[in-house]
């Protein structure tokens, strides 16, 4: 199956959206994106972690160590209030973008 | 973060396992999917901004590995740095302490000294000027007198004491540690039996006991009451001072007659807003007013002596005599440092050239130019730092030695050390040196086309060319600088040899000098006469003693003072210098004891003791200068220039002429002849308080220490309350009089030799590099028939023409610069060829050897290997 690279900005939005549902650890986020998109979108771990650290620096998410499902140590990430606001902003931007592209494709 | 990655990978691996992959494949697949973990970690860290520190640490590790592998190169570089930075630090510590450190008094730039100048020679001041300036000037907040003397404390302890007026403490701005200082009342004769202690004395003798106030201290046989303790800052006036007494006088002692007899130093604190220049103008006006009241003949005397008043900052005045020496030495070490830096830069440059291959590969692998530059810079700094650390250690040792030396040569100065300012200087110097020596190779490397150099086999021939040119120019400069230093050292060595060869005019062998101090009780006439008779007799009784005498100064100690004089029947032409002579008081038997030859007339005899003291013996220089073509015996002159005797028989007469003796040693530039006056017992107490002290001279073949203890015994037999001190063989006194000159000579000589060594390493380096670049060419030459000698000649010529140019330039520069050294030379002109010739030969010889070594290597190049070499 071909792997489609995600544009960096979109990855941020996807991660925020996943975390909106609840806190999650790093590989859980990657798996979830893969599952939810039907494996169309696959997140390279090489992009995921830098994105997570960047978002953490900006204060959109915060992290803490905890226990995973199979009793292994894992670092959990969760959304902050400013992250929630950022998610909203990005969602709007995305929808605008999609609308514009569809317009062009439909009527050009 | 690493933990997190690891866990993620584990999770992926487990998933792969669950999917059915064999275990190691599972893991491997997980890793692969994850991508290069380390590179990834690096990227993450990048974004976290820790990169700079990380990189520097890594550069340092790589750099130290590089240095360890090239231990020889590193050792040479570090040794050079250690010597250069160490020497600079040591000299700077002295410069800092003497020229830069402000005096530890409040507003030290307002403390001035008022002094008198005769023929540009400085003389202090006196009570009369002090009283006059107090009354007639307005530039000062306060004025104080300060003088030094040695006194006996308790029964036998000799100590340096200061005498000052009460205002002196205000001039300095000092506050008592405990108790108080003097009052103006203490300057009245009879009310001056109070003393102020200094901290070192209070600590050593009284253990800082505050109850010391009010106790009495026995000074020179009289009781003084302790009223206070002075702060440690007072040691800046003179490090030897232990006790301070008031200067006291009777009002009639302030007589205009004594205005030009200078004994004590005068200091003042300028009023705010008044400059030293303004104070000087005011002082000149005061002196002018006084000058107008003098007789024409005395005015003429002052004019001929170019008399002037001077006002200078205390800060500058106290170190005036050291300034030129310090500048010379600091300049010399700076030159040595420059030469050393050039060597190190060359070293780093040739190393960098050799690493072009390695650096080019790094560039190809993705290192930025900035990264490479940073690496080279860090290496350079590692080198410089280690060299500087070694150098500071060296400097610390050197400063201790300098300190011990100065304690002997200039005991009035406080000790030197590596203080904050000096260490800061070292750090700054290290940074500059590190930057300079590293930047040159970096700039050069980054300019070169490194990628092309991987392909090209030889070590960057085009880069080599500009390196060679710079190398030549710099090495020529090094040689020239080294020659300048060597020339200076040569001049000093030659001067020293001439100074040592000076004929002392007497026989210093088997002669011992000791000093005694007569307590105050001796000031009543008879006691001194009895003492003198008893002492001389007791000393003459010692077996093996062939001569005994008393004198007011020891030859070559430098304590003999001089005065202007007036000749009775020989008017001096208006444009000639003012006649003057050094005065030495001697007892009967002095000339015989010292084996000073009598040329004319007669010596002092016992019968002269009863006369009223108007006879002199003069030396050859006196006779020839003031009575050319005639006999000096029977002529008259006097030191009482203000009130010349009316009748001829009241004029002092010359009774004899003796051989020249340079009483103040070789360093005395005053060129004054000597006059001897008879030391009669009534003068003894007064002489023993003067700077020269009262000295006993004994001639005997016994060893010094043995003789001294016998003399001490005899003295105790005559009067046990009189201390004996400053015992030395006169031979030692003469040697020690040259100590200062010897020290500067050795220092400059050492620096010059260091410069020579470094320059020769420079030549060697440049030539060796040259040879390595031209290996193929040399191989070809020898293959087609060049003989060993021809190759050696070819390479040596390279070295020798550079050395020759350097030598020429250096000689020219040396001749120009040596004129500044005039004051330090003895019996030589600055262009003295006998000093330049030996050092030039030395330089040429060293350059020859330094050129020969690489040329030998060149001749040993195997042509086959050279041609095959890529």
Q: Cα–Cα distance between B114 and B311 in angstroms, integer?
A: 5
Question: Number of Cβ pairs closer than 8 Å across A and B?
Answer: 39
* Cβ-based contacts of A74 with chain B (< 8 Å): 7
Mutate to test the interface with B, among A53, A54, A61, A68 (most CBs of B within 10 A): A53
Cβ contacts of B825 within 8 Å, gap of 6 or more: B491, B492, B495, B832
pLDDT top residue among B820 and B574: B820
Is B212:B202 a contact under the CB 8 Å cutoff? Answer: yes
Q: Which single residue is written with the structure tokens 């019968």? A: B607
Q: Would the pLDDT of B48 be above 70?
A: no
Q: Would the pLDDT of B847 be above 80?
A: yes
* Cβ-based contacts of B42 with chain A (< 8 Å): none
pLDDT class of B47 with cuts at 50, 70, 90:
low
Kindly report the average pLDDT of chain B as a whole number: 86
Q: Would the pLDDT of B513 be above 90?
A: yes
Cα B630 to Cα B360, B565, B624, B627, B660, distances in angstroms: 91, 19, 8, 6, 18
B43 inside 8 A of chain A by CB? yes
A73 inside 8 A of chain B by CB? yes
Sequence length of chain A is 108
Q: List chain B domain ranges.
A: 2-49, 53-103+323-456, 121-305, 477-503+741-870, 518-722
pLDDT top residue among B631 and A72: B631
B571 inside 8 A of chain A by CB? no
| Closest C-alpha among B475, B352, B376, B474 to residue B434 | B376
Q: Cα–Cα distance between B333 and B331 in angstroms, integer?
A: 6
Q: Would the pLDDT of B610 be above 70?
A: no
B542 inside 8 A of chain A by CB? no
Beta strands per DSSP E along B491-650: 511-516, 547-551, 562-564, 566-567, 580-586, 598-601, 615-619, 637-638
B33 inside 8 A of chain A by CB? yes
Q: Across residues A1-20, what is the average pLDDT? A: 71
Residue of chain A with shortest Cα separation from B8: A27
Chain A window 27-46: which residues touch B at a Cβ cutoff of 8 Å?
A: 27, 44-46
Residue of chain B with shortest Cα separation from A29: B8
pLDDT in tens, B131-145: 999 999 999 999 999
pLDDT in tens, B674-711: 999 998 888 888 888 887 889 999 999 999 999 999 99
- Which of 1.10.10.10, 3.30.1520.10, 3.40.640.10, 1.10.4080.10 would CATH assign to domain A8-107? 1.10.10.10
pLDDT at B261: 83
pLDDT at B50: 64
Q: Which pair of structure tokens corresponds to residue A20?
A: 């909106």
Q: Across residues B2-23, what is the average pLDDT? A: 77
* Cβ-based contacts of A46 with chain B (< 8 Å): 34-35, 40
Q: Would the pLDDT of B331 be above 70?
A: yes
pLDDT in tens, B740-775: 899 999 999 999 999 999 999 888 888 888 888 788
pLDDT class of B232 with cuts at 50, 70, 90:
very high
Q: Across residues B215-228, what is the average pLDDT? A: 91
Task: Give the minimum alpha-carbon distance from B27 to chain A in angstroms, rounded to a whole number.
Answer: 15
pLDDT class of B41 with cuts at 50, 70, 90:
low
pLDDT in tens, B714-732: 999 998 888 898 899 999 9
Question: pTM score, two decimals?
Answer: 0.79
CB nearest A27 (choices: B8, B44, B48): B8
Q: Would the pLDDT of B460 be above 50?
A: no
Q: Would the pLDDT of B459 be above 70?
A: no
Q: Would the pLDDT of B214 be above 70?
A: yes
Q: Do A74 and B7 make contact, defined as CB atoms within 8 angstroms?
A: yes
Question: Which residues, listed in sequence order, are joined to residue B724 by a DSSP beta bridge?
Answer: B516
Q: Across residues B77-99, what is the average pLDDT? A: 90
Q: Would the pLDDT of B491 be above 60?
A: yes
pLDDT at B34: 61
Q: Across residues B288-309, what is the average pLDDT? A: 88
pLDDT at B454: 55
pLDDT at B458: 47
pLDDT class of A2 with cuts at 50, 70, 90:
very low
B12 inside 8 A of chain A by CB? yes
């Amino acid at each position: 199956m071909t792997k489609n690279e995600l544009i960096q900005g979109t990855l941020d939005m996807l991660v925020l959206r996943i975390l909106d549902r609840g806190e999650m650890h790093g590989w859980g986020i990657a798996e979830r994106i893969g599952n939810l998109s039907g494996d169309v979108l696959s997140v390279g771990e090489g992009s995921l972690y830098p994105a997570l650290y960047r978002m953490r620096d900006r204060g959109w998410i915060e992290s803490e160590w905890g226990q995973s499902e199979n009793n292994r140590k894992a670092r959990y990430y969760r959304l902050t209030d400013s992250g929630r606001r950022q998610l909203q902003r990005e969602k709007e931007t995305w929808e605008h973008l999609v609308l514009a592209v569809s317009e062009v494709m439909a009527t050009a | 973060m690493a933990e997190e990655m690891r866990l993620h990978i584990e999770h992926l691996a487990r998933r792969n396992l669950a999917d059915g992959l064999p275990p190691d494949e599972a893991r491997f697949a997980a890793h692969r999917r994850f991508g290069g973990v380390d590179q990834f970690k690096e990227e993450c860290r990048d974004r976290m901004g820790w990169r700079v520190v990380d990189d520097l640490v890594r550069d340092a590790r790589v750099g130290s590995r590089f240095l360890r592998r090239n231990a020889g190169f590193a050792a040479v570089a570090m040794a050079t740095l250690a010597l250069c930075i160490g020497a600079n630090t040591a000299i700077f510590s002295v410069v800092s302490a003497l020229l830069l450190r402000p005096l530890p008094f409040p507003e030290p730039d307002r403390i001035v000294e008022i002094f008198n100048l005769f023929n540009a020679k400085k003389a202090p001041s006196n009570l009369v000027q002090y009283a006059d300036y107090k009354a007639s000037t307005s530039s000062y907040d306060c004025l104080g007198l300060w003088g030094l003397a040695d006194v006996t404390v308790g029964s036998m302890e000799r100590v340096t004491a200061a005498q000052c007026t009460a205002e002196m403490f205000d001039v300095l701005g000092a506050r008592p540690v405990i108790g108080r200082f003097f009052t103006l009342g203490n300057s009245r004769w009879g009310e001056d039996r109070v003393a102020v202690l200094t901290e070192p004395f209070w600590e050593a003798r009284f253990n800082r006991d505050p109850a010391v106030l009010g106790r009495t201290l026995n000074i020179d046989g009289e009781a003084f009451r302790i009223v206070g303790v002075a702060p440690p800052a007072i040691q800046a006036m003179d490090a030897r001072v232990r006790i301070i007494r008031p200067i006291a006088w009777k009002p009639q002692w302030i007589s205009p007659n004594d205005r030009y007899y200078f004994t004590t130093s005068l200091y003042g604190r300028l009023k705010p807003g008044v400059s030293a220049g303004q104070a000087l103008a005011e002082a000149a006006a005061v002196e002018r007013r006084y000058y107008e009241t003098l007789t024409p003949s005395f005015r003429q005397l002052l004019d001929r002596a170019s008399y002037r008043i001077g006002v200078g900052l205390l800060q500058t005045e106290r170190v005036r005599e050291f300034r030129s020496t310090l500048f010379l030495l600091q300049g010399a070490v700076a030159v040595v440092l420059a030469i050393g830096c050039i060597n190190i830069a060359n070293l780093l440059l040739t190393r960098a050239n050799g690493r072009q291959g390695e650096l080019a590969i790094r560039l190809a692998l993705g290192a930025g130019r900035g990264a490479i530059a940073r690496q080279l810079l860090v290496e350079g700094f590692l080198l410089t730092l280690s060299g500087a650390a070694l150098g500071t250690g060296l400097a610390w040792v050197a400063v201790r030695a300098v300190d011990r030396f100065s304690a002997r040569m200039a005991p009035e100065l406080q000790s030197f050390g590596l203080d904050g300012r000096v260490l800061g200087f070292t750090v700054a110097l290290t940074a500059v040196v590190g930057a300079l020596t590293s930047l040159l190779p970096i700039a050069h490397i980054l300019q070169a086309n490194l990628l092309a150099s991987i392909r090209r086999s030889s070590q960057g021939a085009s880069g080599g060319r500009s390196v060679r040119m710079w190398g030549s120019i710099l090495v020529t400069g090094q040689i020239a600088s080294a020659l300048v230093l060597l020339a200076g050292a040569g001049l000093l060595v030659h001067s020293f040899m001439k100074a040592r060869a000076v004929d002392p005019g007497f026989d210093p062998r088997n002669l011992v000098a000791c000093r005694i101090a007569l307590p105050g009780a001796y000031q009543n006439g008879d006691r001194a006469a009895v003492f003198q008779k008893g002492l001389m007799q007791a000393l003459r009784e010692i077996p093996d003693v062939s001569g005994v005498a008393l004198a007011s100064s020891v030859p070559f100690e430098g304590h003999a003072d001089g005065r202007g004089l007036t000749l009775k029947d020989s008017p001096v032409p208006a444009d000639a210098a003012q006649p003057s002579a050094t005065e030495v008081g001697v007892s009967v038997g002095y000339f015989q004891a010292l084996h000073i030859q009598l040329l004319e007339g007669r010596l002092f005899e016992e019968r002269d003791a009863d006369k009223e003291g108007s006879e002199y013996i003069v030396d050859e220089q006196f006779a020839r200068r003031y009575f050319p073509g005639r006999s000096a015996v029977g002529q008259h002159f006097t030191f009482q220039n203000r009130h010349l005797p009316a009748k001829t028989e009241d004029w002092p007469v010359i009774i004899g002429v003796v051989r020249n003796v340079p009483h103040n040693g070789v360093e005395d530039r005053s060129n004054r002849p000597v006059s001897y006056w008879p030391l009669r017992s009534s003068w003894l107490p007064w002489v023993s308080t003067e700077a020269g002290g009262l000295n006993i001279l004994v001639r005997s073949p016994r060893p010094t220490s043995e003789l001294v203890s016998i003399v001490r015994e005899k003295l105790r037999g005559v009067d046990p309350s009189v201390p004996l001190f400053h015992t030395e063989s006169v031979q030692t006194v003469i040697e020690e009089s040259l100590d200062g000159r010897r020290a500067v000579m050795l220092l400059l000589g050492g620096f010059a030799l260091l410069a020579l060594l470094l320059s020769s390493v420079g030549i060697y380096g440049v030539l060796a590099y040259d040879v390595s670049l031209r290996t193929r060419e040399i191989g070809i030459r020898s293959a087609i028939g060049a003989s060993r000698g021809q190759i050696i000649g070819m390479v040596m010529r390279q070295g020798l023409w550079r050395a020759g140019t350097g030598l020429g330039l250096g000689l020219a520069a040396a001749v120009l610069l040596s004129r500044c050294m005039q004051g330090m030379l003895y019996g030589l002109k600055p262009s003295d060829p006998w000093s330049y010739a030996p050092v030039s030969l030395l330089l040429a010889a060293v350059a020859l050897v330094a050129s020969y070594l690489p040329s030998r290597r060149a001749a040993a190049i195997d042509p086959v290997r050279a041609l095959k070499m890529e």
